[in-house]
Structure 1
Amino acid sequence: MDDFVIPFKGLSIGNHIFKFKIGDAFFKSFEYFENIGGKAVLDIDLLREPNMMILGFSIEGKLKLQCDRCLGFFSQGINGKNQLIVKFGDKFVEESEDVIVIPQTESRIDIRQYVFEYICLSLPFRKVHPADSKGNSGCNPEITNRIGTYSKRDADPRWDVLKDIKL
C-alpha cells in the first residue's frame, strides 16, 4: 500500500503540505481495525531541513465504531494532532515515540504505521453509544436488558453468616 508514502528526496528546504484520504480500505488493512470503518482526512505539514524533517499530522473525520457494551455500531468523530521528527543518520533508529532516525540514503518515508498509531490514540478508551438528549443510553435496549439478566449474581448463602458479625 503505497498510498501513505511521502517522497522527500527532491523536496526543497521549507514547508510542504500533503493531503491523504483515509477510508475503509486503510482500516481493513490492519487487524486491530477489523470492526472499524469510516472516513477521515489526514493533512501533513512537512518542514524539510537539511538534516531533519518535522511532520505535523492533523487527522479529522468520522469513524464507525463497534460499541463495547451492545456490539452495535455508532458514529464517532475523531480529531487529533501529532508530530513526528525524522532525523537523518546512518541506520534506522527509533529514539522515542516521536523521534526517529532514518538512513541518509532513504528517499521516501512510509507514514502508514504512524497514521495507524495516531488514529488509535484519538479513539476513546471506552467505545459506547453516546447518550440521547434525555441522557439515556444509545445502546440497543434488547441487548442491554439481556446483559442485565445474565450478569445478576445470586448471593452465596454461605457468606450470610458474616453479616451477623458485630464489630
Structure 2
Amino acid sequence: MSKMKKFKEFDIPFVGLKEAKHQFDYKIENAFFEAFNYDEFNNADIKVDIVLDKKSNMLELDFKAKGTVNVNCDLSNEPFDLPVKGKLHLVVKHGEEYNDEDEELLIIPHGEHQINVAQYIYEMIVLAVPAKRVHPGIEDGTLSSDIIEKLEELKPKEEKSNNNNETDPRWDTLKKLLTDK
C-alpha cells in the first residue's frame, strides 16, 4: 500500500472551496505514526486543527496540535503521557513543479486540486516532543522504581574532605608545576 493511499483522509481538496477560511480537524493516534514507521510512541492521542485560508492566488494553512504521546522515560524507562503542543504555518502556491524544500512554502503543479497534509502533521508533532523525556514523577520525587533507586546508589558520592586541610601528596607536585612559572 503506497504512503499516499494510507493517508488518503489527509487529502484536502481545495478546488471546490470558496475563498474563505475552512476548518479541518483530525484525531491522530499511534497508527498514524506506525504508518510512517516511527515507533517511539507507545500511544498517541492528539487533536490537530487546520485552518485553511483560501485566497485567489494561494492557500494559507495554520496547523495546531494538542494532546499527549505516551513515551518511555529516558531515565526510568517507565511509560508516561507526555503533553505535546505544536504549531505550523504553511503557504501553498501553484508553480511549474512540485517543491517542498522550504518547510513553510509548498509549491504544487498547476492543475493539482488537493494537498496531503499528513507529512506536515507528522513532522510538527515529532518536533514538538522534547529530546529528553523525563517522567514527571522523577522531577517531583513521586515515582519510585528499582531503576531510580539504582541510579541514586550509583551517583558519585561527595568527596570526603580532610579535616586538617591535608592534600593528597600526588597532587602537590602537579600544583607546584602550575605555580612554578
TM range (shorter): 0.7 to 0.9
Partners of 2:71 and 2:169 lie apart in 1 by 47
Report Cα offsets for 1:79-120 as digits up to 9, x if no partner: 222111111111111352211111121111111111011001
Q: Is the 8 A contact 1:27 1:37 kept in 2?
A: no
Partners of 1:118 and 1:151 lie apart in 2 by 37
Aligned partner of 1:44 in structure 2 is 50
| Structure 1 residue 9: Cα displacement | 1.5
Q: Provide the secondary structure at the position in 2 that maps to 1:25.
A: helix
Aligned partner of 2:165 in structure 1 is none
Mapped pair 1:80 → 2:91: no
TM value normalised by structure 2: 0.76
Rg larger for: 2
Pick one of 84, 92, 109 that aligns with 1:103: 109
Cα root mean square deviation, aligned? 2.4
Gaps of at least 5 residues in structure 2 are: 1-5, 157-167
Q: Is the 8 A contact 2:41 2:69 kept in 1?
A: no
Aligned partner of 2:141 in structure 1 is 136
Partners of 1:130 and 1:80 lie apart in 2 by 20
Structure that is richer in strand per residue: 1
Gaps of at least 5 residues in structure 1 are: 153-159
Partners of 1:137 and 1:103 lie apart in 2 by 55
Partners of 2:169 and 2:122 lie apart in 1 by 54
Q: Is the 8 A contact 2:40 2:71 kept in 1?
A: no
| Structure 1 residue 150: Cα displacement | 6.6
TM value normalised by structure 1: 0.82
Pick one of 106, 121, 125 that aligns with 2:127: 121
Partners of 1:66 and 1:161 lie apart in 2 by 47
1:32–1:162 CA distance, 2 compared to 1 (3 A): farther
Paired-residue identity, %: 34
Mapped pair 1:146 → 2:150: yes
Paired letter, 1:142: D
1:30–1:72 CA distance, 2 compared to 1 (3 A): farther
Pick one of 162, 168, 171 that aligns with 1:163: 171
Partners of 2:80 and 2:12 lie apart in 1 by 33
